[in-house]
């Protein structure tokens, strides 16, 4: 008698949880629908300095001049794969105070959580840039490795092309970021950041 009750309770809870997740996910999709994406994300994630960074990056706008939004790279909410990589931040509840993030320790996981197929929406042909210009010989070798044609890599796009949208202060000394650093300038919003130095 006890055992069957336990089973019913367990199974009901499970079903309720699944239903709740589905409803929540659906609701978040619907509710986000009629507001600008970035503004919507920023209702919970206070990412003003991150927004400043991307607006000065090479990924501020796409090739047609349209602003690139958070969801074009980041997979918001409940994608099990990307959620797995963001699990530490879920548990610490820091996702609502991103300015407190230890960006250095997070960086690898965040890069893993940006799926390659999102980049490939614009970057279809890896032998050219979005404007159709052929990439360098070195770039071609790297992409051959990414596609497994010449050696192989463990990284996704963001793993090698980090710092194309956001630039934490500890990466500002890298030579590959010199142009981006110049564009960021001396704005107090990005001058001093908490967490990982």
Partner 1 sequence: MNRTNLKISKGKLVGFALFSVLLMSVVSLSQAKGIKHLKATDSAADCYECHKYVTPRVAQNWLESKHGVQLMKCFVCHGQPDGKGSIPFSVKPDPVAVCAKCHDPAMQRMKEKFGTEKGCYECHPFHQNSLHHDAYKKSASKKE
| Chain positions contacting partner 1, by CB under 8 A | 137-138, 141-142, 144-145, 150-155, 160-163, 171, 173-176
Smaller CB separation from partner 1, 38 or 104: 104
Smaller CB separation from partner 1, 36 or 151: 151
Q: How far apart are CA 13 and CA 7, in angstroms?
A: 10
Q: How far apart are CA 179 and CA 58, in angstroms?
A: 10
- Residue 185 Rama label (left phi>0; alpha psi -120 to 50; beta): left
Find the shortest distance in angstroms from Cβ 170 to partner 1: 9
Give how far Cα 10 sits from Cα of 17, 19, 147, Å: 11, 14, 45
Residue that has been written with the tokens 């052929």 in this structure: 134
Find the shortest distance in angstroms from Cβ 128 to partner 1: 17
Smaller CB separation from partner 1, 154 or 182: 154
Find the shortest distance in angstroms from Cβ 188 to partner 1: 22
Smaller CB separation from partner 1, 162 or 195: 162
Find the shortest distance in angstroms from Cβ 171 to partner 1: 7
Q: Tokens in use for 67?
A: 């602003």
The HSE-up count of residue 187 (CA atoms within 13 Å, CB side) is 16
């Amino acid at each position: 008698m006890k055992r069957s009750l336990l089973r019913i309770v367990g199974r009901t809870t499970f079903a309720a949880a699944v239903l709740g997740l589905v409803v929540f996910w659906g609701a978040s999709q619907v509710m986000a629908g009629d507001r600008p994406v970035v503004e919507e994300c920023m209702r919970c994630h206070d990412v003003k300095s991150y927004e400043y960074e991307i607006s000065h990056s090479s990924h501020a706008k796409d090739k047609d001049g349209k602003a690139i939004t958070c969801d074009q790279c980041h997979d918001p909410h409940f994608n099990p794969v990307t959620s797995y990589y963001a699990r530490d931040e879920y548990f610490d509840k820091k996702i609502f105070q991103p300015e407190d993030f230890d960006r250095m320790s997070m960086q690898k996981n965040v890069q893993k959580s940006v799926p390659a197929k999102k980049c490939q929406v614009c970057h279809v042909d890896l032998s050219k840039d979005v404007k159709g210009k052929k990439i360098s010989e070195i770039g071609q070798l790297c992409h051959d490795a990414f596609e497994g044609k010449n050696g192989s890599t463990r990284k996704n796009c963001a793993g090698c092309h980090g710092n194309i949208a956001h630039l934490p202060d500890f990466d500002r000394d890298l030579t590959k970021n010199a142009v981006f650093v110049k564009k960021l300038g001396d704005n107090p919003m990005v001058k001093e950041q908490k967490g990982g130095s």
